[in-house]
Amino acid sequence: MMRQRTDRLALTTVLLLAAVFALFFLLPFAGLIQRALADGETWETARSGVVRDALWLSLWTSIVSLAIAVLFGTPVAYLLSRATFPGKSLVDAFVDLPIVLPPTVAGVALLTAFGRRGLLGQPLEEWAGLTLGFTTTAVIMAQVLVAAPFYVRAARAGFDEVDPQYERVAYTLGASRLRTFFQVIAPQAGPALAAGMVLCWARAMGELGATLIFAGNFRGETQTMPLAIVQAFEGALGLSGAVALSLVLLAVALVVLVLFRLVTSRLRVPL
């Protein structure tokens, strides 16, 4: 009898904590939707040119950033998973550093390295006339710095789960390292790679601090959706404008998440 009461009390406590936790996450979105429905200007703002420009810039720059992260991050993740070399732990730590680093610090670091008076930025401008800071290129660089580690970390976890025995068998059968990677390793690590891509893209789409400091906030050139939301909130549009832009960004994120769930469910990928 006492055990049943204890179990019932434990179950009630767990359910209560879960309900409070879920409510905490649901209420902000409910408030966002309620404010949008109550304010007639929200929908008009969502169709404005500012939103279109910012959304288009966010979409294509985040896709380019994702492509760069996959192209350069995949070899890094594979080496960290399979290879042993001096300084590996240091490389591993630097890969994780942007994840825990405040985005504003990342922006300042980019500015000191690639700005007009930066470590590499000044020689580039003097010798080649190339300016990186406060351009669309700077947006992509900021996104890559803060978002790529999410892909690398997920990809490495996926490669760690692949049994090295499969690689040895493929080599024994005469397959090259490149063919083995694409036909044996990558398919098995595919779920983790896909999850890493989504995390990387989402982080790039939501990047604010590093972009603001290194790229600025210029409409049509560096003003991504998060920057447009800040400007709307602080400017004439006020909270209504910020709500409109937030809803658009939320809708895009939901569409991507639903599509990703559909793909992973067909692949029978647990997520």
Q: What is the pLDDT of residues 89-126, one digit of tens each?
A: 898 888 888 888 899 999 999 999 999 888 998 898 88
Query: What are the pLDDT digits (tens) for 160-194?
Result: 998 888 888 888 888 888 888 888 898 899 889 98
Asked whether the beta carbons of 202 and 186 are under 8 A apart, the reply is no
pLDDT band with cut points at 50, 70 and 90 for residue 141: very high
More confident position, 21 or 266: 21
Distance of CA 92 to the CA centre of its chain: 19
Inside any domain, residue 151: yes
pLDDT in tens, 23-74: 998 898 888 888 877 776 777 777 778 888 999 999 999 999 999 999 999 9
242 within domain boundaries: no
DSSP 242-257: HHHHHHHHHHHHHHHH
Q: What is the pTM of this model?
A: 0.87
- Give the mean model confidence (pLDDT) for residues 256-260: 79
Q: Which domain holds residue 130?
A: 56-222
Q: What is the mean pLDDT of residues 236-250?
A: 80
Give the up-direction half-sphere exposure of residue 48: CA atoms within 13 A in the CB hemisphere. Answer: 19
| Total number of domains in the chain | 1
Question: What's the rounded Cα separation, in Å, for the pair 265 and 271?
Answer: 9
- What percent of the chain has a predicted confidence (pLDDT) above 90? 41
Distances (CA, A) of 112 to 109, 116, 132, 200, 204: 5, 8, 12, 24, 21
- Give residue 13's identity as a one-letter amino acid code: T
Q: State the DSSP string of 183-211.
A: IIIHHHHHHHHHHHHHHHHHHHHT--HHH
Answer whether residue 32 is part of any domain: no
Q: Is residue 238 part of a domain?
A: no
Domain assignment of residue 102, yes or no: yes
pLDDT band for position 268 (cuts 50, 70, 90): low
Quick check: 37 and 29 in contact, CB under 8 A? Answer: no
Contact between 113 and 125 under an 8 Å Cβ cutoff? The reply is no
State mean pLDDT over 133-155: 95
Closest CA to 50 of 220, 206, 247, 212: 220
In-domain check, residue 241: no
- 268: in domain: no
The CATH number of residue 193's host domain is: 1.10.3720.10
pLDDT, tens digit, for every residue of 13-23? 899 999 999 99
CB of 221 closer than 8 Å to CB of 136: yes
Contact 43, 251 (CB under 8 A): no
